[in-house]
Structure 1
Amino acid sequence: MNFRRLFFALAILLGSLVVTSTPAEAACAPLSLCSCTVSTTGISFGSYIPVDATNNESSGTVRVQCVLLVALAGSYTIDLSTGSSGTYAQRTLRNGASILTYNIYVDAARSQILGNGSGGSSRITRNFTALLGVDQTTTVYGRIPAGQNVPAGSYSDTIIVTVTY
């Protein structure tokens, strides 16, 4: 099996900022005659209110597009980095020395932390069959737990998304 990795940053922002990402591109091996691109929509949590009793939740997407010149069936995995926290257990949004904890999940119930399969995290694997192309979008889910007493400001984190196919 031929493995390629695509890396790009998925910005996680708190506030009213618009999230954009730069597509990454890699070519498949010459025998498979394909090329793939990956793009994201970041997770924008909007305003966080420290005295609010409900979690702040949002979602983003990872889109994988491949142009194939021969019939192909296969799969790819989506892995996320830990971001600035260095751990999957509790990712952190930062504003200078101030920290706001959050995490990213595989599922809408927010029960499986999305990572690379280590440290209690899960990875996403998608299967596909295609003759000429693949275009799949996967939703990822974010949550900032309620009750964190943090100063006002713009908090952010950068997550590296790795797609292996």
Structure 2
Amino acid sequence: MKIALLFATAALGVAVAQVASAATETSSIGASASVTTVCTMDSSALAFGEVALTGATPGTATVNVTCTGGGDYTVGLGNGLHNVAAQRNLVSGANILAYDLFKENTHTTRWGDAGAGLVSGTGTAVEQTLTVYGQITTGQTLVAGNGTPYTDTVQVTLTY
């Protein structure tokens, strides 16, 4: 019995020694993310309606830009499919009607596709609406479009 009791006591001592020698290790997980500037854009049509015989005929369109917060962008407008020497033109068959696009409603600063002609902004993660101010050039000989409207297509370029 003494041998059994001695053996049981020794076994208990080994078990206690194993519990007493348990250790804990810790580690950490690094977390990171990067946010790059991402933008989306859409635009509306510019409809001048019926062109006035006297005076300039204005019209407006919009370009809607949404960029991540803090992201800088520029918007440029091309000269259109029917431009001649950078003059934007609406066309109906062989008939041409000159027009232009501007940054403000006073029609003084041409909205173009480079340098000072660009419109710039900074994203806020909320849609920003930019207004395009169009105007039919005055002093033109107006020719009816023979049932076909005068049209043009202008490329809008968003750079970010």
With structure 1 as the length reference, what TM-score do the two structures score? 0.67
Confirm or deny: 8 A CA contact 2:37 2:71 kept in the other structure. Answer: no
For residues 42-97 of structure 1, the C-alpha deviation after alignment (integer angstroms, 9 at most, x for no partner) is 21000114xx221100111100124x4xxx41311000111121543x21111111
The 5-angstrom pairing of residues 122-137 of structure 1 reads 122-128=117-123, 130=124, 133-137=125-129
Query: Which residue in 1 is equivalent to 2:95?
Result: 98
For residues 135-165 of structure 1, the C-alpha deviation after alignment (integer angstroms, 9 at most, x for no partner) is 1000010000233223211101100000011
Any gaps of 5 or more consecutive residues in structure 2? Answer: 1-32
Relative to 1, partners in 2 of residues 1:126 and 1:135: Cα closer, same or farther, differing over 3 Å? same
* Structure with larger RCO (C-alpha < 8 A, sep 6+): 1
Query: Which residue in 2 is equivalent to 1:81?
Result: 78
CA RMSD of aligned residues (A): 2.1
Q: Are 1:38 and 2:41 an aligned pair?
A: yes
For residues 11-67 of structure 1, the C-alpha deviation after alignment (integer angstroms, 9 at most, x for no partner) is xxxxxxxxxxxxxxxxxxx94256432111121000114xx221100111100124x
What secondary structure does 1:147 align onto?
A: coil
What secondary structure does 2:152 align onto?
A: strand
Q: Which amino acid aligns with 1:148?
A: Q
With structure 2 as the length reference, what TM-score do the two structures score? 0.69
Query: Which residue in 2 is equivalent to 1:155?
Result: 150
Matched positions, count: 124
Query: Which residue in 1 is equivalent to 2:24?
Result: none
Q: Which amino acid aligns with 2:79?
A: T
Q: Which amino acid aligns with 2:61?
A: G
- Could you say which structure has the higher strand fraction? 1
For residues 109-160 of structure 1, the C-alpha deviation after alignment (integer angstroms, 9 at most, x for no partner) is 1111111236xx61100123x4xx2310000100002332232111011000
Query: Which residue in 2 is equivalent to 1:111?
Result: 108
Structure 1 moving runs of 4+ over 4 Å: none
